[in-house]
Chains A and B, each alone.
Chain A
Amino acid sequence: MRRSGRALLALGLAVGLPAGALSGCGVLPPLPEPVPSDVVPTAPPVALSPAAGGDALSPDGFDAVERMAVRIRNVGCEELSTGSGFAIDDHTLITNKHVVADSRDLEVSTYDGHDIQVGATATAALADLAVVRTTDPLPSYPELAETDPGPGDPVTVVGYPAGGELTVTEGRVMGSTRDPLNANLGEVLLTDAPVEPGSSGSAALDDKGRVIGVVYAKTADDNSLLVPLSTLQDVLADDTAFTPAKGC
Chain B
Amino acid sequence: MTEAPVIATPGPAPAPGPRRGARWLAVLLVATIAVGGYLWVTTVRWQHNAEQWEQKARAYAEEVASLRMQLDAAGTELQAARDQLRTATARITDLANEKAQLGDENVASQQVLDYQTQVSAAAGTVASALGQCVSGQEQLVGYLKEADQYRADDLRRYEDEVNALCDEAEQANEALQQELRP
Residues of chain A having any CB pair with chain B under 8 Å = 10-11, 13-19, 22-23, 28-35, 39, 60-62, 71, 73, 75, 78-80, 82, 107, 109-113, 160, 163-166
Determine which of A28, A111, A163 lies in contact with B38 in the assembled complex, contact meaning CB atoms within 8 Å. A28
Q: Mark B72-116, 1 if CB is under 8 A from A, else 0.
A: 000000000000011011001111110111011001100100000
Taking the closest CB of chain A, its distance from the CB of B39, in whole angstroms, is 7
Once A14-B31, A80-B108 are accepted as A-B contacts, the answer to whether A31 and B88 lie under 8 Å apart by CB is no
Taking the closest CB of chain B, its distance from the CB of A15, in whole angstroms, is 4
Which one of B49-57, B131-139, B159-167, B171-179 is at the interface?
A: B49-57
Contact at A61–B100, with CB atoms within 8 Å?
no
B27 within 8 A of partner (CB): yes
Chain B: which residue is nearest A19 at the CB level? B38
Chain A: which residue is nearest B96 at the CB level? A113
B155 within 8 A of partner (CB): no
Listed by A's residue number, 26 A-B pairs whose Cβ atoms lie within 8 Å are A10-B27, A14-B28, A14-B31, A18-B34, A22-B35, A23-B38, A28-B39, A29-B39, A29-B46, A31-B41, A31-B45, A32-B46, A32-B49, A60-B89, A61-B85, A61-B88, A78-B111, A82-B104, A110-B96, A111-B96, A112-B92, A112-B96, A160-B100, A163-B101, A164-B97, A165-B93
Residues of B within 8 A of A (CB-CB), count? 38
**Most chain B beta-carbon contacts within 10 A, residue among A28, A61, A62:** A61
B66 within 8 A of partner (CB): no
Taking A32-B46, A112-B93 as known contacts, 17 extra A-B pairs with beta carbons closer than 8 A to each other, sorted by chain A number, are: A11-B27, A15-B30, A17-B31, A19-B34, A33-B49, A35-B53, A61-B86, A73-B104, A109-B99, A109-B100, A110-B96, A111-B92, A111-B93, A113-B95, A113-B99, A165-B97, A166-B93
How far is A178 from B60 in the complex, measured between Cα atoms in Å? 69
B42 within 8 A of partner (CB): yes
